[in-house]
Chain A
Amino acid sequence: MKQPEVFHLPKRKLTVADVLSLIVTYAFLIFVALIVLLPVIYIVMMAFNAEKSLYIDTIFPTKFSLGAFERLFTQTNFLLWYLNTMIVGALTAAGEILLVLPTSYALSHMRFKGRKQYLMAFLVLQMFPGTMAMVAYYVLLNMLGLLDTYFGLVVIFSCTAIPGSTYMMKGYLDTIPRSVEEAAMLDGASRWQCVTRIILPLAKPMIGLLALFGFSAPFGEYMMSKILITNPNRFTLALGIYQGIFSQATTDYAMFAAAAILSSLPMVVVYMSLQRVIMEGLSGATK
């Protein structure tokens, strides 16, 4: 979709007040930018530093080294954690989409008794975070023998995301007029054909967005994984980096920095490059 141009007032001659306000604006924006960049610069410096400790004696490391990356791959199971996280992420995305699509379609494009109550219930359930039910999840997964499995994590990640994602998806589907479907049905199309031929193709951007969010869920989540996963071979990145590197008795900070960079880089690239699409999708969903 083409973005509308920003509207600007007709340009006047630059006054002193304008120049002053422009200077203040620049100063403020640059100050915030520096603060934002500070941790990023810090972590990059640390990763390429030959020292392992937290202390950096000069702003630019004098002793450049790739040792931290080497240690990361030889001393820890970094690649395994990465793989685990991607498996959980991919399954979460798939599960979430399969569950959210039919629900949001019904809530958006069908009219039936109790529809408002469903929407209301979803809104309330959306505020219920998994943290509150950690004992319940532990007991339930234990009963089902799903502790220490990817499946347990996937079920929790994808199902707890249903209410929120359904709201997003419903908002998006609402922008597809129902008259399109009604016309198709008058022409003899079945409900199923409407869904597969009209709705699904139109909803592709939002499906992609949900897939992205579902995929990145295990990359950012720490607590639920900590409670449910104890086997080091099943660690996700969050668990591995925190328990295997960060909270060791003598933390190898350079190695931590290297792990932080490698595990966030793909996410940063994807989110940055899809930024515009994501914002369009979200604003469509919240309209």
Chain B
Amino acid sequence: MSDQSVKETNQTVPASHRRAARGEAALSLLLCGAGYFLQRSYLAGVLSVLAEALAILLFRVWGLDAIRGLITLGETEMRDHSLIMMVYGILAIIVFAGFLIFWIGTVASTYRNGLKIRSASYTPIRLKERTGEWLHEHAHVLFLAPGVVAIAAVILLPLVFSICLSFTDYDAAHQPPAHILNWVGLKNYQDLLVLGQYAKTYFGILGWTAVWAVCSSVLPYALGITIAILLNNPRLHGRKVFKFIYILPWAIPGYITLLVLQSMFDTGYGFINQILGLFGVDNIRWLTSVTPARIALIIVSIWTGFSYPMMLSENIIRNISKDVYEAAVLDGASSIQIFFRITLPLLMHSISPIFIMSVAGAFNNFNTIYLITGGGPLNLDYQSAGSTDILITWLFKLTITNNKYNYGAAISTVLFILIATFSIINLRKTRAFSEEDMLA
């Protein structure tokens, strides 16, 4: 709204007005909000200058040391705690970046205000009204503030912190406060991605992670969608009973299911081997040999994961407009044509963004792997990892068991980049980005 009005006035305002407004904006750039005084917006001016004074004071008292601490990570062992210094340093950067954005905003708004008060249609209004108008224009800031601050503190700060850790030598041999951490540049990434035992482990695990992410998302969706379509058969009886049963895996808390299934896959006494024994199948070492363990994991992911896509598809199929079908029948389409030309495309169109997010989620499916196989069986070619470990369980082991915090952080950074790239590229192709109502 305000942008438009500025553009409109831009065409009509004389150059002198623009020059004057630019001058005031420049003054605001020198001293945050100083331009407001020339425009007789004293309250805005005083508040902006106060904000700058506060920021400078904070910077002198705390920010400068915090940022210096982030650079040096401390000098004296036992006195300087590198991790805490890192946290304060990042916090300082976030806070002052926030102030910088405010400052830039002030400069822009000084310029806009300068044009506004000079335009012919402008009539001076009283402070109270002006404040009311300002509040109305900036109401979104108030609404967004709690969420944004929470995200900055609980998601952004830890994210940046993890990324920072991946450039340090924080491991079992360097634990603050007894030791000072050092920045080591790209060394951790080099160890993981280029040379040595860890690189071998990394790429081995990456391969299985990709297989796992694809299988444990495609198969449950395939089963869920199939069941939803089968349930849509008008001649079928007992639809409600079937649905009731199929929703159970979704309603039971995840880790309970996983622990129960883990005990069912037990080699000696497990329920599954007992049942297979009835059919004359010898005991399968489900969780202790590589291929059966991987198969078991994928079975588990199907068991736990098919309910949700089934319910979604069922709902989507139900909500497809009747008119479309009626028109198709009038045009003489067969039921097979109707299925492949109408039902399936519409279903895929609606479900694809959620499916992509579930692939991304499969990369991070820590619980299934950790609670079913724990990553095992141990792989002797790997560095502290097993054959069913995926990246996220491996980084957990490296961090918690081996105290290789730096490697753990580097892996999580790579993983985050992988997932985010994958999701954004794929989501761009779906309706999430093309249609107005999702990102409108």
CB within 8 Å of B: which residues of A?
3-11, 14, 18, 22, 25-26, 28-29, 32-33, 35-40, 42-43, 53-56, 98-100, 102-103, 105-107, 110-113, 116, 118-120, 123-129, 131-137, 139-140, 143, 155-156, 159-160, 162-163, 166, 171, 174, 191, 216, 219-223, 227, 238, 241-242, 246, 253, 256-257, 260, 263-264, 267-268, 271-272, 275, 279-280, 282-283, 286-287
A123 and B427 in contact (CB under 8 A), knowing A36-B246, A139-B161?
yes
CB within 8 Å of A: which residues of B?
1, 3, 83-84, 87, 136, 139-140, 142-144, 146-148, 150-151, 153-159, 161-162, 165, 223, 227, 230-236, 242, 244-257, 259-261, 263-264, 266, 269-271, 274, 303, 311-312, 314-320, 322, 325-326, 329, 335, 338, 350, 353-354, 357, 360, 364, 366-367, 370-371, 392, 395-396, 399-400, 405, 408-409, 412, 415-416, 419-420, 423-424, 427, 437-440
Measured CB to CB, the closest approach of chain A to B174, in angstroms, equals: 14
Q: Which chain A residues lie closer than 8 Å to B316 at the CB level?
A: 283
Residue of A134, A159, A227, A238 near B154 (CB, 8 A) is A159
Residue of A29, A124, A286 near B227 (CB, 8 A) is A29
Q: Which chain A residues lie closer than 8 Å to B423 at the CB level?
A: 123-124, 127
Q: Which chain A residues lie closer than 8 Å to B364 at the CB level?
A: 129, 131-132
Q: Which chain A residues lie closer than 8 Å to B427 at the CB level?
A: 123
**A53, closest chain B residue (CB):** B269
Q: Which chain B residues lie closer than 8 Å to A283 at the CB level?
A: 312, 315-316, 319
Question: How far, in angstroms, from A117 to B366 measured CA to CA in the complex?
Answer: 30
Q: Which of A110, A127, A135, A163 has the most CB of B within 10 A?
A: A135
Closest 5 CB pairs of A and B: A103-B147, A159-B154, A136-B158, A132-B412, A106-B143
Q: Which of A139, A238, A253, A268 has the most CB of B within 10 A?
A: A139
Residue of B140, B264, B409 near A110 (CB, 8 A) is B140
Measured CB to CB, the closest approach of chain B to A150, in angstroms, equals: 16
Contact B146 A8 (CB under 8 A): no
Contact B158 A18 (CB under 8 A): no
Residue of A42, A241, A279 near B271 (CB, 8 A) is A42
Q: Which chain B residues lie closer than 8 Å to A271 at the CB level?
A: 247, 250-251
Contact A135 B269 (CB under 8 A): no
Question: How far, in angstroms, from A254 to B266 measured CA to CA in the complex?
Answer: 15
Contact B269 A55 (CB under 8 A): yes
Measured CB to CB, the closest approach of chain B to A123, in angstroms, equals: 7
Q: Which chain B residues lie closer than 8 Å to A143 at the CB level?
A: 84, 87
A39 and B158 in contact (CB under 8 A), knowing A102-B147, A127-B360, A143-B84?
no
Q: Which chain B residues lie closer than 8 Å to A256 at the CB level?
A: 259, 263
Measured CB to CB, the closest approach of chain B to A222, in angstroms, equals: 5
Contact A106 B140 (CB under 8 A): yes
